[in-house]
Copies of this chain bind each other. A is one copy, B any other.
Amino acid sequence: MKMAIKDLFGRPLTVVNVGLEGFAGAVRDQGVAVVDLDWKPPAAGVRPLYRTASGLDVEEANQEVLRRIKAARPVLVGMGIAKDVIPGMHEHMILHSGPPVTWERMCGPQRGAVMGALIYEGLAQDGREAEVLARSGEIEFAPCHHHHCVGPMAGVVSPRMPVFIIENKAFGNHAYCTQNEGLGKVLRYGAMGEEVYERLRWMETELYPILDRALACIPDGIDLKAMIAQALHMGDECHNRNRAGTSLFLRAIGPALARTNRDNEALARVIEFIDRNDHFFLNLSMPAGKAAVEPAEGVPGSSIVTVMARNGTDFGIRLASMPDRWFTAPAGKVEGLYFPSFSERDANPDIGDSTITETAGYGGFAMAAAPAITQFVGGSPSMAVETTLEMYEITASEHEGFTIPVLNFRGTPLGIDVRKVRQTGILPKINTGIAHREPGVGMVGAGILRAPEACFIQAFQALAAL
């Protein structure tokens, strides 16, 4: 009887060799393929950091950070209009994704989204007027993250946009996010045009009131932590695959939608809109992550990342120990799958606050739970598994609340430890949508990349000096 060394899936085993060549040779003799690992040695001079300059115990601080994140109970409790409910928001403010950025340095799709939002708000008649206004200084730009908010892609939140309100029941803090528009020619990818504004208007005047009324009759709200946990057992990773989450959300809100129904046809349109947009749940999984992580901010000495966000120009991170300080580097290039007629040349660099999902212990870090996502972002199912395994190397813990069935229900990698990133040379892996680099176009694909190392180098140095 013939036999070969096979992995769990019955495929010929490949062994990854990271050093000991003699051993690799012995394995090769057994007929096992051996490949080289794309592995970088630890950065020269990076020593284990147990205490900061002033003597803060990093490990102790991290345990407190992890305790808070794990204890989080993000619940969708209601909706409201951005200018009414987001702290600090006002009539002439526009929130955007990523670290702070001026109009001058804004990338194309973020500019497109800002101009589109100004037109949608009625503050400008067309793109030219919008650009003049945006450049004038009359509009205050601020990162979503400065307002307990997260926004996918361009991340634009304008005053009259409806937002979901998520309450972290364990700590009482809130987070906010707009409703997801779907894919293609949509504002968050920088698209402009009547089709975009009309959809936003419908989302404000029909989708929002109907969802809002339904939520108001669910006294306990919708438990997003439980929903994310379920979705991870249903092939989602809750960043670029949200088909299960979207389905579970519709199931959960369904009875309340029926009970508060005033117009069958309008209700049908709302269900249809959600049913046709498998990313609808992204705008709930993101603020759930934001609400979960924010209470961990402000723990002195912690080396754990609590914000990781991109504005399409810069990639920025913040640590739990320094929640007011951004460490930034140029946003990276996404390796991806493109829609027909688009290619890499059309792609804007990495953009969006959706990396809050990886920060909170799911998204790209839980890709092992979502092998089918590779049809959207590229790669292979085994790459998806390997991504999760690799992320355990740079995280401080595993999230007992979010488990991955195929890894024997192991908890997801939780809490990016800037020390581990420096020591291993492994950078956080992210999956993301890709926006066209020009304002006004929209989505052109989806893909995978790593966070830029420079952010982590700076953050590590700042931490050591604390």
Residues of A within 8 A of B (CB): 1, 3, 5-11, 13, 15-20, 23, 26-27, 30, 32, 230, 233-236, 243-244, 246-248, 250-252, 254-261, 264-265, 267-269, 271-272, 274-275, 368, 371-372, 374, 380-382, 385-386, 389, 405-409
Contact = CB atoms under 8 A, between A and B. Distances in A.
Interface of A is mostly: helix
Nearest to A251: B275
Given A13-B7, A261-B264, A408-B380, A251 B247 contact: yes
A272 B255 contact: yes
Contact of A9 (B8, B258, B259): B8
Listed residue (A248, A252, A271) with the most chain B CB atoms within 10 angstroms of its CB = A271
B371 A406 contact: yes
Contacts of A274: 251
26 contacts: A3-B17, A3-B20, A5-B15, A5-B27, A5-B32, A7-B8, A8-B385, A9-B385, A10-B389, A13-B13, A26-B30, A30-B30, A230-B243, A234-B243, A234-B244, A235-B244, A247-B248, A254-B254, A258-B265, A259-B268, A260-B264, A371-B406, A374-B405, A381-B408, A381-B409, A382-B408
A407 B8 CA distance: 10
A219 to B, nearest CB: 15
Contacts of A264: 258-261
Contacts of A248: 247
Given A3-B20, A251-B271, A381-B408, 7 more contacts: A247-B250, A254-B268, A254-B272, A255-B269, A261-B267, A381-B409, A406-B406
A254 B265 contact: no
A368 B405 CA distance: 11
A410 to B, nearest CB: 9
A15 B405 CA distance: 22
Contacts of A258: 257-258, 261, 264-265, 267-268, 271
A19 B5 contact: no
A215 to B, nearest CB: 15
Nearest to A369: B235
B8 A405 contact: no
Contacts of A11: 408
Contacts of A407: 9, 381
A268 B251 CA distance: 11
A10 B407 CA distance: 9
Listed residue (A16, A254, A389, A408) with the most chain B CB atoms within 10 angstroms of its CB = A254
A3 B36 CA distance: 13
A238 to B, nearest CB: 13
A246 B247 CA distance: 9
A382 B3 contact: no
A251 B382 CA distance: 30
Contact of A18 (B3, B16, B23): B3
Contacts of A269: 255
A268 B255 contact: yes
A3 B30 contact: no
Nearest to A10: B389
A179 to B, nearest CB: 17
Contacts of A6: 15-16
B235 A255 contact: no
Nearest to A246: B251
Contact of A1 (B19, B236, B247, B252): B19
